[in-house]
Each structure stands twice: as structure tokens, then as C-alpha cells.
Copies of this chain bind each other. A is one copy, B any other.
């Protein structure tokens, strides 16, 4: 509850624009999330990072904040096989490469048009979200598992 004074870059106005109260941990977590380019991060990793940066936020709070950010649209979340939830600071229309060997995740932009345009929703429904994860494995290794 006694974090170091946070240099509130553009973070505070960002939170306010989304109608969120600028608390210490939200400011700190948002700074970690948005000050290093696009990130794909789990709650526990962000919590660990925060701790290293002397931004004290419990894991529960990290989850609360990330879920809140996802609700308002500051980040996007998706779930990996295995059940881990990834929070992605890139909220644009894109797919993901998942490197099975390293666990790394990278963005893949879509070429032709919006992702959702490739699908025709059934009558009465509209597309809320399209999650695409392309799982990659090393070539040389056994290619057939």
C-alpha cells in the first residue's frame, strides 16, 4: 500500500478516459502494460513484474484490474490451450502465433479485410469476437508428434 511515486505518463488520463478511478495499482499495472509496446502477459507474470518494479499489487488485484481493463476495452484477453488466460495490449484485429517450444506469443496481422468478415454468422447472431491461435512447432523435430 506504499508504492513509490508513479510517474503517471499518459496513464492517468487514459484510465480516466475509460471511466476508471486512477488507483496506485491500476496506474502501475497500466504503466507496465502500455509502456513497452504490445505485450502478451498472464496475470501472474504481470504480478511478478509489478513486484519487481515495487508496484505492490496482490495477485487478486492483478486479476481484477486485468479483467476490468478487458471489460472496458483497454486490453483483450484470450485463453490458450491448457487454460491460461493471456491479456493482450494490442486491441486491433489480429491473430496469434503461439510457439510451443518457448511459449512465446506474437501477433499476426490479417491480410485481406477484417477477420470477422471471413465468417457468416447464423441468422439472428452477430460476431462478438474471433479468436485465432496458430500453434507453431520446430520444423526439425518430429513433425508428426
- List A residues at the B interface (Cβ < 8 Å): 77-83, 85, 95, 97, 99-100, 108, 116, 119, 121-122, 124-140, 143, 145
Contact = CB atoms under 8 A, between A and B. Distances in A.
A130 B122 CA distance: 22
11 contacts: A79-B83, A83-B83, A83-B85, A116-B134, A121-B134, A124-B140, A125-B137, A125-B139, A126-B143, A127-B134, A131-B133
Contacts of A132: 130-132
B134 A130 contact: yes
Copies in the complex: 2
Contacts of A130: 132-135
B119 A127 contact: no
